[in-house]
Amino acid sequence: MGTRTWWETTKVQGGELVDKVKQLVHEGNVRRIVIQQGDRSIAEFPLTVGVVGVVFAPILAAVGALAALVTDCSIAVEREETVAGTASEAAPPAPPPPSGDPVAP
């Protein structure tokens, strides 16, 4: 049994940013969230299974601060799912985020 990872990108307005990040975290199959403005990555948050409460609060605070500063941005999301089969049948590793080097918060 292996895992398959892939990237999705969604455009959001600054006011929608916090709600969208909350929604993505609650979905559970998100490994990493990269917030981008134009071609530049402005924040990256690695997530693990079980990110809740006290651990998640600083992430939301940082996203809230970003939402106050950016008006138009996109969220690149690395997702993961478990696939049946042997490790040799698993998909290749996920490519890097869609643009530039992410900047740590």
Identify the bridge partners of residue 77 per DSSP, sorted by sequence position. 8, 33
pLDDT, position 95: 64
Which amino acid, residue 29? Answer: N
Q: What is the mean pLDDT of residues 60-77?
A: 83
For 7-43, what is each residue's pLDDT tens digit? 999 999 878 888 888 888 788 788 888 999 888 998 8
What's the whole-model pTM score? 0.66
Rounded to whole angstroms, how far apart are CA atoms 98 and 20? Answer: 19
pLDDT tier for residue 103 given thresholds of 50, 70 and 90? low
